[in-house]
Amino acid sequence: MSCRLIINADDFGLTSGINRAIEQLHRAGVLTSTTLMATGPAFDEAVAIARANPSLGVGCHVVLTDGVPVSLPETIPTLLGPDGRTFRPSLIDFVQALLRGKVREEEIEREALAQIQKLQRAGIDVTHVDTHKHTHLFPAVARPLLRVLEHTSIPAIRNPFEPEFTQRLAHAGFKRRLQLSLLNRLSPAFERHNQLRHAHILTTDGTLGVSATGNVNPATLSQLLANLPGSGIFELVCHPGYNDADLDRINTRLRTHREIEMQALMSAIPSRLAQPNPPGLINYGNLGALPQIEKHL
């Protein structure tokens, strides 16, 4: 099987400028998938864009930190920060509480289900899920999330771990590479989940661009694409958008770089597709059909 690539933009629904960038990139043929934030300020606009672009795969970007829940606060107390209304404001706070056993899995399950169902009620055929800041790296998040996917018949989840070949590339600083090297020790536990081992829930062979977050420029992206193996299924995660007044009101470390990522996608993807043995571009909704597609090639 030739290499397949899902190009997914996170943060759909966060701002109008991000929504507009995602639609433009999809229509340009350089973005195949996105994940929608259930409580994003520009949620309704994102839903309208999704409906107008049926070839764009749309998943749910499950938020458990640095955001607002869909569930009533009193039903998910262990997920909330000091104000008792919103999630913990930082990833470190969330992970510390998770590792100390202060976060209840049934509350993760309840909130993830609420976010997914909000998308489904809006008419979105949810292709997959991932998590804001990749919190499902941790088994205590992946377990309840996979149970929700079985309950909702959603067929796929992001593999939040980078494949080995990207870890050798010099697109991230030493500290970032060390952090991800330590986190990648959780990869075998992720792969051992029954839903993934028995292919009840589908995933990829890994995700590109995690270590390069905030550094996905044309050179970095070209390097990642040039090193893709000849076979396998991978996701490229990106965060395109316009750095505008709406983004100024959002708590995000990715600001000016969102426009750089747009430029990178618009230049590096067509260039790679024009070269010999280009990857086939798909979205998560295509994963289940790939064996049948390959039979007829």
SS3 string of the chain?
CCCEEEEEEEEECCCHHHHHHHHHHHHCCCCCEEEECCCCCCHHHHHHHHHHCCCCEEEEEECCCCCCCCCCHHHCHHHECCCCCCECCCHHHHHHHHHCCCCCHHHHHHHHHHHHHHHHHCCCCCCCEEEHHHHHHCHHHHHHHHHHHHHHCCCEECCCCCCHHHHCCCCCCHHHHHHHHHHHHHHHHHHCCHHHHCCCCECCCCEECCCCCCCCCHHHHHHHHHCCCCCCEEEEEECCCCCCHHHHCCCCCCCHHHHHHHHHHHHHHHHHHCCCCCCEEECHHHHHHHHHHHHCC
pLDDT in tens, 37-69: 999 999 999 999 999 999 999 999 999 999 999
The β-bridge partners of 5 are: 234, 281
Residue 169 reports pLDDT greater than 70? no
**pLDDT bucket at 269, cuts 50 / 70 / 90:** very high
- Percent of the chain residues past pLDDT 90, beyond the cut: 78
Lowest-pLDDT choice from 79-83, 131-135, 287-291: 287-291
CA distances to 50, 89, 126, 284 from 251, in Å: 24, 10, 26, 28
Read off the pLDDT of each residue in 196-201 and give the average, rounded to a whole number. 96
For 268, the token pair is 């590096």
- The whole-number pLDDT of residue 245 equals 82
For strand 4-12 and strand 280-282, is the pairing parallel, antiparallel, or unpaired? parallel
In order of their start, the domains of the chain are 4-295 (3.20.20.370)
- The whole-number pLDDT of residue 183 equals 78
Read off the pLDDT of each residue in 182-209 and give the average, rounded to a whole number. 93
Read off the pLDDT of each residue in 276-280 and give the average, rounded to a whole number. 95
Residue among 223, 232, 269, 212 at smallest CA distance from 31: 269
CA distances to 6, 43, 206, 230, 270 from 276, in Å: 19, 39, 23, 11, 12
Lowest-pLDDT choice from 36-40, 220-224, 263-267: 220-224
pLDDT in tens, 97-155: 999 999 999 999 999 999 999 999 999 999 999 999 999 999 999 999 999 999 999 99
Q: Give the residue, 82 or 215, on which the prediction is more confident.
A: 82
Residue 293 reports pLDDT greater than 60? no
- The whole-number pLDDT of residue 257 equals 84
**pLDDT bucket at 248, cuts 50 / 70 / 90:** confident
Residue among 269, 247, 249 at smallest CA distance from 257: 247
Supply the pTM of this predicted model: 0.93
**pLDDT bucket at 174, cuts 50 / 70 / 90:** low
